[in-house]
Amino acid sequence: MASKIILIEDELRLAKFVEIELTCKGYQVSIAHDGITGISLGRESTHNLLILDWMLPGISGVEIYHRLRATGTQLPIIFLTAKYDVEFRLFGLDAGADDYIIKPFSIEELLARVRAHLRRNQKDERDLLQFEYCSLNCASHEVFRGKRPISLTAKEFDLLEYLIRNLPQVFSREQIMDKVWGYDFEDDYNVIEVYIRYFPMKIEKKNEKHLIHTIPGVGYVLREQ
């Protein structure tokens, strides 16, 4: 799936040039020429990176940055600016920008910075899994159902991670034993049944949707229901 990039730039010719170059590299680009439109785009959760001009009519790039961060947006942000003094670079980075490119710039440099930040962000996203308001942080082993923290054992976490990563596949006891427990031993298959029976008590409270389902004669699956 192509990465989605927001470009907020009031110089129309420059914005069109950057849009064409990014599109040619396979990115999906959304353009805003003013701060208000840019903020609206930045609040959408579907984008992967923001390229932001420092000097914009009405609202500065720094103000846009602060408004977006205040709403919880964690998009990587690359500032574009004609201000080349070191003090302005430091101000931009201190304000929280992930990167800073001075106009006029080489399009090859911008593309390289874009690739670098997207790789870094995608690596972080692989550690974060979500399903039906249930979120797993595979780096910290934290689990939440909405805002409610859930305490899971190591194997319970591994089981939930395996089911989410392989949606919507149905798994037999043998497959789960092999992939989650790491061995194949017929006498231990009842361990899976015990986990499936008691696991929902941790991740499903009253009025919350049932997530783990048993398919008679087949196995188990994670589904919204």
Strands (E), the chain: 4-8, 28-32, 49-53, 77-81, 99-102, 128-131, 134-137, 142-145, 148-150, 212-215, 219-222
Residues 107 and 195 in one domain: no
Domain closes at, from 101, 126, 151: 126
Q: What are 125-136's pLDDT values in tens digits?
A: 567 888 877 888
Residues 104 and 146 in one domain: no
Q: What are 1-47's pLDDT values in tens digits?
A: 678 999 999 999 999 999 999 999 999 999 999 989 989 888 876 78
Cβ 42 vs Cβ 73: under 8 Å? yes
Cβ 18 vs Cβ 6: under 8 Å? no
Residues 96 and 168 in one domain: no
CA distance from start to end of the chain = 27
- Give, as one character, the DSSP assignment of residue 171: B
Domain closes at, from 106, 126, 146: 126
Range of the domain at 46: 4-126
Residues 110 and 181 in one domain: no
Q: What is the pTM of this model?
A: 0.56
